[in-house]
Amino acid sequence: MKKRGVGIATIMFGFGYGEGFPDHSIASLRVKPDGRVELKTAAADVGQGVHTIVTQIAAEVLSVPVDMIDLVGGDTAITKNSGSTSATRQTFFTGNAVKNAAQMLKGQINDLAVKVFKKTYPELYLDGGYVVPHGAEEDKISFAELARIAESKGEKLEAEACYFPITTPPDPETGQGERVYMSYTFVTQIAEVEVDTETGQVEVLRFVTVPDVGQAIHPQNVEGQIEGGTAMGMGMALMEEVIFDEEGFLLNPDFSTYLIPTALDVPRIETVIVEDEEPLGPFGAKGIGEPATIATAPAIINAIYNACGVRIKELPATPEKILRELNKKSAGN
């Protein structure tokens, strides 16, 4: 007999290293001689899209299209420390460093333009790689021209910034602290499953994720993180298990014996993004890396319980474990 059930799980996740650990990110920008903007960051993009995010942030601050940003990433000879791509930290930490550097560069551009136009800052605005006087748009001057003027003065239009927030360690007795993490991401996940009570097999039919990511700078990237994280969580819940023999030898060292979800195992994943802006985040953004995975397994385990009344307390919830618990339940244990 196949029985259906629905389970829900909610988590909160403090991102960044936190707990008083020194954690920072450095980024720099400059206007190149051709007027394009170079952005340097060591933030490693492992497929999560941080290079897209920081490019968007720089472009937004400088009021230029994203294709005017030339990103130089991951070169230890010319980029400074951006910290690791871990702890769900890059959007928040490197995003803030890039935003700060872009604001400093914008200040330099405006300061030089004020002198060139002999106008006050509010009389000017940036648009598409130009500084434009209000009411005299035909007199606009390009970033390239400003870079040449700066060079003639022995100056450069470039800026570097570091984002280095201070966190505090938690009290070992209470677990509380003044600021243990800079902020928290909240995620609720809902799973609908079908349990075959004759085989113990579980099929995940539907998955809905509701993440509070602050401001979603790139919503498609958020959805991608959710979909990938959910698939990983499904593996944790139902399949993935490292098995050793009594002498410590790994018995399932390859993907023919260590099972992970394939596209055929993953149902349609629906993502409903909640945008409650984080005041400390770049344009209100928070991280969504690991939080995309954490609630998945408990949501599935709760759905299994809702479907057939057995509580699996050791992952993965294999068919053998489910049948064992169903037999115990039938026997009245």
Q: What is the CA 332 to chain-centroid distance, rounded?
A: 46
Lay out the sheet containing 141-142: strands in order across: 124-127, 130-133, 141-142
| Per-residue pLDDT tens over the stretch 242-267 | 999 999 999 999 999 999 999 999 99
- What percentage of the chain reaches a pLDDT higher than 90? 97
pLDDT in the model for residue 76: 87
Q: Judge if pTM exceeds 0.95.
A: no
Q: Averaged over 191-199, what is the pLDDT?
A: 98
pLDDT in the model for residue 64: 98
pLDDT in the model for residue 333: 64
pLDDT of residue 85 exceeding 70, the answer is: yes
Going by C-alpha positions, the residue among 314, 316, 317, 311 that lies closest to residue 329 is 311
pLDDT of residue 74 exceeding 90, the answer is: no
CA distances from 255 to 5, 47, 296 (A): 30, 22, 22
123 is catalytic: no
| Per-residue pLDDT tens over the stretch 277-290 | 999 999 999 999 99
pLDDT of residue 193 exceeding 80, the answer is: yes
Q: What is the CA 308 to chain-centroid distance, rounded?
A: 35
pLDDT of residue 276 exceeding 70, the answer is: yes
| Per-residue pLDDT tens over the stretch 146-185 | 999 999 999 999 999 999 999 999 999 998 999 999 999 9
**By the 8 A CB rule, do 209 and 188 touch?**
yes
Q: Averaged over 68-93, what is the pLDDT?
A: 94
Domains and CATH numbers, the chain: 2-15+181-331 (3.30.365.10), 25-163 (3.30.365.10)
pLDDT in the model for residue 23: 95
Catalytic pick from 158, 290, 320, 325?
Answer: 290
pLDDT in the model for residue 190: 98
Q: Averaged over 28-44, what is the pLDDT?
A: 98
State the average pLDDT for the chain: 96
Q: Predicted confidence band at 332 (pLDDT cuts at 50, 70, 90)?
A: confident
Beta-carbon contacts of 157 under 8 Å, excluding residues fewer than 6 positions away, are 30, 31, 105, 108, 109, 112, 143, 146, 147, 150
**How many other β-carbons are positioned within 10 Å of the β-carbon of residue 33?**
11
> Cα separation of 222 and 289, whole Å?
9
